[in-house]
Amino acid sequence: MAERSRLSLRDLLSETGVALTARPARTVLTALGTILGVGALVTTLGLAKTAGNQIVSRFNELEATEVVVSPQSTGFGDASRSLNVIPWDAEGRIERLNGVVAAGTVSAVDVGDKLARSVPVVDPQGQTEFQIPVLAASPGLFDAVRARLFTGRFFDQGHEERADPVAVLGPAAAQRLNVTRVDNLPVIFVGDEAFAVVGILADTARRPDLLGAIIVPNQVARDRFNLAGVEAVQIDVAVGAAELIGAQAPTALAPNDPEQLRVAVPPSPRRVRSDVQDDVNALFLALGGVSLLVGAIGIANVTLVSVLERTGEIGLRRALGATRRHIAIQFLTESVALGALAGVIGTSLGVLAVVAVSATREWSPVLDPWLPFAAPVLGAVIGLVAGTYPAWKASSTEPIAALRGVA
C-alpha cells in the first residue's frame, strides 16, 4: 500500500549530468584545482619515467655495451709476462663470439723521447716538434670505440698484415701537427720513422685518449717501436650481451690462463635505473600530492557553497519524495563525477605536457600504461573524499527550512 521512494541509477546519472552541464564554466572552475593536481601528477610521473629512461638509455649507449679486457696487473718486474697474455690476434678471436659487434686491441706505444712532427726538417726557429702519444691498434678498434672520421679512412687488415707505415690522427693531434686534409698525402714523423696519414678522426664515443694520439697499426708498432704486447681489448657488444661476453672473453683470449685477464663490464642497468628514478620520483610526487590536496580542498569548498546555494532545491527534492539518502547520494555522485572529469582532463593535459617536453628535449616520451587509467580513478576518489562532508550537510538540511528560504 505504501509506496517506497526510489531513485534509479539512470535517473541519478542523468541528474548528475544535468547538474554538471547546466553551468559548464562553473564546473570547470570548480574542477580546476583537481585538473591541475592530476595534470601535475601525471606530468611529473611521466617526465620522471621519461627522464629516467633517457638516463638509462645513455648508460646503455656508452657503458652497457662496452667490455674491456686487460691483463691482471701483477706488480713490478713482471711486465713482460702480463703483457704477453693477450695474443696479437685478439680481435679475430673476440669477433667470433656471438653478441660482439666490434672488437679491437689498443696499446700505448713507448716511443721514448721521440717527438712527432709533420715537416721533414727540424726548424730551430719555430716549434714544429711535439710530444704526442702513439697508440697501436688493430683495425677493429675504430668500430669498437665508435669512432667517426673527419676525413680520409681508417687503416684496415691489409695495412696491418703488410706492416704499412700508416697512421690515423686524433683531431687534437692533427691540429698540433697542422694536418687538415689527407688528399695531399701528408706524412708525419715520429722520431725518424715516417708515417703516411690516411685519416683524421672527428670524435669517438669511447677511449677519449685516441683523440690526442697518433694511431698506428699493431704490426708497424712492433716493427718500429718494439711494442711488447696488447694492453687492452676494447669490445663493443650488443645490448644485453655484456655479461655473457665478459664471461667468455678471457677464455677466448687466453684458454690456458683465463685468470690472468681482468674484465671490466658495465654496472647492472637495473640498479642504475632504480637509483635515478627513486630520487626524481620522490620530489615530483611530493609536488603532485600538494597540488592534489589543493584540488580536493577546491572541490570541497565549491561543493559546500553549492549546497548552501541549492538549499531550496534540496527542500524541493525532499518534498518531491527524495529521502536524505537520495540527497546525499546525488551530491556525492556530482562531486565524484566532477573529480573523475577533472582526472580525465588533467590526465590528458599531463600526457600532452609530457609529450611536449619530450619533443623539445628530443626524448622519447615514456608512460606507465596504468597511469592514464589510474589518474581519473584518483580524481574520482578525490571527488568522493571532498564531497563527503558537503553531501552529509546537504542530506541533513531540513526540508521545511529549505523551502521557506528564498528560492
- Footprint of another protein (CB under 8 A): 1-8, 10-11, 15, 18, 22-23, 312-313, 315-326, 399-400, 403-407
In whole angstroms, how close is the CB of 356 to another protein at the nearest point? 36
Do 183 and 153 touch, CB atoms closer than 8 A? no
Q: Which is nearer to another protein, 17 or 208 (CB)?
A: 17
Ramachandran class of 226: left when φ > 0, alpha when ψ lies in -120 to 50, beta otherwise: left
Q: Which is nearer to another protein, 218 or 395 (CB)?
A: 395
CB of 334 to another protein, least distance (A): 13
Closer residue to another protein (CB): 208 or 321 = 321
- CA angle 227/253/146 to nearest 5° reads 75
DSSP state of 239: T
Helix (H) or strand (E) holding 60: none
SS3 category, 206: coil
For 104-132, what is the HEC assignment?
Answer: EEEEEECCCCCCEECCCCCCCCCCCEECC
User: What's the min distance (Å) between Cβ of 337 and another protein?
Assistant: 16
Phi, psi (deg, nearest 5) at residue 234: -100, 125
* Cβ nearer to another protein, comparing 158 with 321: 321
Taking the complex as a whole, the smallest distance from the CB of residue 59 to another protein amounts, in Å, to: 58
d(CA 37, CA 289): 7
Nearest-angstrom CA–CA distance, 396 and 35: 30
Rounded to the nearest whole angstrom, what is the least distance from the CB of residue 306 to another protein in the complex?
12
Closer CB to another protein, residue 224 or residue 318? 318
Least distance in angstroms from the C-beta of 311 to another protein: 10
CB of 324 to another protein, least distance (A): 7
Q: Quick one: cell of 107?
A: 696499446
Give least dist CB 17 to another protein, A: 12
* Shortest CB 4 distance to another protein, Å: 4
Check: CB of residue 182 under 8 Å from CB of residue 212.
no
Please say which residue, 106 or 394, places its beta carbon nearer to another protein.
Answer: 394
Cα angle for residues 101, 155, 150 (degrees, 5° grid): 85
What does the DSSP 8-state code read for residue 208? G
Nearer to another protein, 1 or 185 (CB): 1
Cβ closest to another protein, residue 49 vs residue 317: 317
**Phi/psi at 201 (5° precision):** -75, 150
For residue 407, how many other CB atoms are within 10 A of its CB?
Answer: 9
Please report how close the Cβ of residue 407 comes to another protein at its closest, in angstroms: 4
- Return d(Cα 212, Cα 190) in angstroms, integer: 15
Burial (Cβ within 10 Å: 0-12, 13-18, ≥19) of residue 222: middle
> If you search the block for the grid coordinates 617526465, which residue do you land on?
47
Strands (E), 66-217: 66-71, 100-109, 116-117, 129-130, 134-137, 148-152, 166-169, 187-190, 193-203, 214-217
Report the residue number, 8 or 184, with the smaller CB distance to another protein.
8
Task: Rank residues 26 and 162 by Cβ distance to another protein and give the closer one.
Answer: 26
